[in-house]
Structure 1
Amino acid sequence: MWNTRFRLIFISSSTYSALGLLPMRPCSSSDPKPGCCPPSPALKTGAWHSHCARSASPAELCRFRSLGPGTSGDTGSAAIESVQGAKNVDIIVLLPKGHCTKIQELQMTTVLRENVHVFGVEGNSDELDEPIKTVFADVAFVKKHNLMSLNSINWSRVLVQIAHHFFAYFRCAPSLDMHPLPPVEVVVPTGAAGNLAAGCIAQKMGLPIHLVVAVNSNDIIHRTVQWGDFSLSKAVKPTLASAMDIQVPYNMERIFWLLSGSDSQVIRALMEQFERTKSVSLPKELHSKLSEAVTSQSVSDEAITQTMGRCWQENQYLLCPHSAVAVSCHYQQVDRQQPSPPRCCLAPASAAKFPEAVRAARLTLDTPAEILALEHKEARCTPMRKGDDWTRMLRDTIEDLSQQWQRRFLNLPA
């Protein structure tokens, strides 16, 4: 029987841009309280973005490249940090105005470098993804302007997240000398299911992990795992874990394909039906394979604040609300006194960016000076209003930036 062990794997700012570890002391059945130390990121925030954006061959260095992430809060600022001021790279970020915290917005809108272009969309994360997907569906346009997405729409993001699951396993497994290797449970807080897709691929590669997907009240992934109900709710529900306020988890298509034995025809028909009707019941065989690979929980705002308070009381560590979604699953297991393998929770962000959630948990926050300074900086953001043609605005911006680059490169007058 396994004694419960729990570690928090801290993946800073965006879920693939940095790695670090919060080591937790082992818990006995009589003392199920995880010990906690502060995170120590091993890579600078945005390192993977920087690598993707800058790893060009000499021939490519004289070509303009445009990066186009939509963000629910963290991806945009991490991407901007990586490429601001870079030559021959422009970044266009779409943020959901009013759907991420003020600090998250300021981390993007106060970067006034010439190659940074931020749009504030009057819509939620699902809605702002639509113009991005439409633009990237035009293959000729993408090639002409050398476009690259930094969302998990881009396979390279998921590819790196696979390594995170191996990293978590090797840090949490009690021994690597056993045969077969012992299992480790990985709790993945998610909205679009990119890191969950990475975990499923790691499983297929032979990594002995049990995946638990943790979501907030926007629970389409939970309903899909539990009952095969892949359908939209009436509306996106605003929650304290705002980066996970997503109803269309587009990486589920990759997971369905993986678990179907790479049956492209079946999955294409399934997703086309979802596009038409916004509701699909998974075939029994596919649902059975999904529920074997993944278990799930949905976590309310009340549970988020209770978890943040409990973790602070027991460990003097302040969780961000998204990390609290994962740790809530851990506490539920501990309170039931159910035996389990060693467990780790993936932790996406710093609590400093979510003061509203900290206050809701009746906790106090020692805000870093860098965060406080954002309030006094000039901000720049182009609105994308309801009724505007967002796809046309995005295409026009890309074309204009390409023309500006060509004039600079060829030394032509404006």
Structure 2
Amino acid sequence: MRYISTRGDAPALGFEDVLLTGLATDGGLYVPESLPHFSLEEIRSWRGLPYADLAFNVMYPFVEDAIPADDFRTMLHDTYKVFSHDAVAPLVQLDSNEWVLELFRGPTLAFKDFALQLLGRLLDYVLEKRNQHVVIMGATSGDTGSAAIEGCRRCEHVDIFILHPYQRVSEVQRRQMTTVMGDNIHNIAVKGNFDDCQRMVKESFGNQGFLGGKTQLAAVNSINWARIMAQIVYYFQASLALGGPDRSMAFSVPTGNFGDIFAGYLARKMGLPISQLVIATNRNDILHRFMSGNKYEQHQLEHTLSPSMDIMVSSNFERLLFDLHGRDGAAVKALLENAAKGPVSIEDYRWKHARKLFDSDAVDDKTTCDTIREIYQRNEYLLDPHTAIGVRAARNCRRDPAVPMITLGTAHPAKFPDAIAESGLSVKPQLPAHMADLFEREERYTVLDNNVAEVQGFIAKHWKNA
């Protein structure tokens, strides 16, 4: 399988090179030249499979040119055996036809573990084979950083530098990153917001001269195709558990960077019956404003109780725009260049085509807290603020009550105790046993100004072979 850029001006690459490259040389994102497609009969035959075996069936077409089947199977079993629930992604019922898909049973209690536990193993495999070293540079709005560090900290051929917005992630999120010690692990707190961090990462990938030609950058953000690939699997898992593919499903996805919901879009294109995808956002609602009114316009970023979605520049949305424009890279490039200058819209027929599948909603902090409290009082089930936004958006946007509605539960509530407290509940979410001493562990991170040259200088000085 070959991978092409969403901007149409970069060479097509194989899986190994896409894994290590991240951003294409023309500034675009890599997507498969074509997608595998599974028949209903084939999907039906996967019912009851353990998660790792299902993951193999869904993902192997994307990597088969680079990794032998037995090696990939082993990698997947090693990846998902560290999760704390045998089902890996269990479903919890909220109402007669409403569910939460728990994606926080991994080591860092967030959905990012599904992809980043695998990504670390993929990087180790490929870099060992190539006898190559890379520097991982990533930005996090809260959860990607800890999942990336946990997934990659044992990689012998990697130095990892994670940027997070200073004082704009929860304390649990910060400590999950900054208490992991290792000579190859570096946490940078940038005096800015997530979009500033993400911009620095993209700029650095576009010009890697600060590394002196001695190594290259690799991506852990959802610009890396391997992240998206791994997230496709749990849409199949949830559907099969509730009667799919013989009945269609609807999913509500708390999302800021559009990667997690784009994985659902791909699952549908690969043959899984999905009738509705709900984009659930907070006050940073650029995706909602586009999907509800065909206007893509950046506003001032706001700090909310759901910090992992405090994002205004939604990187993976480019991958959807590529499809909506008939995979015309030049058209996507022109649109995004215009979007950097002011509001843009797409042709009405393209927008209406997207609306056949997608709905959206923006949920403020008060409504988020109301939802946390309401669900707990009715079900004694505690939602984190991101999942609460997904549940509220699902209820506001639901098209057909007969279709199962599945909200992706993206994080453990213990990561966001302030939001739980603000909801008025007296219950205090507890961290699991392996994190019980988190607040007693030593922290290590560096605070830097919102300046790309300063950040690049820090990386150039501190990677292992500098």
TM-score between the two structures when normalised by the length of structure 2: 0.73
Aligned to 2:428: 365
* CA distance, structure 1, for counterparts of residue 228 and residue 101 of structure 2: 28
List per-residue Cα deviations over 1:237-275 (Å, max 9, x = no partner): 111111101111111111011122112121111111012
1:274 maps to 2:339: yes
Aligned to 2:447: 383
Moved more, 262-271 or 38-47: 38-47
In structure 2, the gaps of 5 or more residues are 1-81
Identity across matched positions, percent: 31
The alpha-carbon distance between structure 1 residues 123 and 50, as it changes in their structure 2 partners (threshold 3 A), is: same
1:405 maps to 2:456: no
1:208 maps to 2:261: no
Q: Do the aligned partners of 1:192 and 1:251 also contact (CA within 8 Å) in 2?
A: yes
In structure 1, the gaps of 5 or more residues are 1-16, 407-414
Q: Do the aligned partners of 2:387 and 2:411 also contact (CA within 8 Å) in 1?
A: yes
Aligned residues: 373
Tell me the CA shift for residue 27 of structure 1: 4.7
Aligned to 2:207: 138
Q: Do the aligned partners of 1:145 and 1:399 also contact (CA within 8 Å) in 2?
A: no
Q: Do the aligned partners of 1:323 and 1:349 also contact (CA within 8 Å) in 2?
A: yes
* CA distance, structure 2, for counterparts of residue 42 and residue 401 of structure 1: 29
* CA distance, structure 1, for counterparts of residue 102 and residue 356 of structure 2: 34
Report SS of the residue matched to 1:55.
Answer: helix
Aligned partner of 2:454 among 381, 387, 393: 393
Give runs of aligned pairs for residues 2-401 of structure 1, distance below 5 A: 20-25=88-93, 27-28=95-96, 41=105, 45=113, 46-56=116-126, 58-61=128-131, 63-138=132-207, 144-172=214-242, 174-176=243-245, 181-209=246-274, 210-233=276-299, 235-275=300-340, 277-332=341-396, 339-363=401-425, 364-368=427-431, 371=435, 373-386=437-450, 389-390=451-452, 392-401=453-462
Runs of 4+ more than 6 Å apart: 35-40, 139-143
Tell me the CA shift for residue 108 of structure 1: 1.2
Q: Do the aligned partners of 1:162 and 1:202 also contact (CA within 8 Å) in 2?
A: yes
The alpha-carbon distance between structure 1 residues 97 and 287, as it changes in their structure 2 partners (threshold 3 A), is: same
TM-score between the two structures when normalised by the length of structure 1: 0.82
Note the aligned Cα RMSD (angstroms): 2.8
Report SS of the residue matched to 1:230.
Answer: coil
The residue type paired with residue 184 of structure 1 is M
Q: Do the aligned partners of 1:37 and 1:317 also contact (CA within 8 Å) in 2?
A: no
* CA distance, structure 2, for counterparts of residue 38 and residue 293 of structure 1: 23
* CA distance, structure 2, for counterparts of residue 316 and residue 37 of structure 1: 16
Report SS of the residue matched to 1:267.
Answer: helix
Structure showing greater Rg? 1
Q: Do the aligned partners of 2:210 and 2:457 also contact (CA within 8 Å) in 1?
A: no
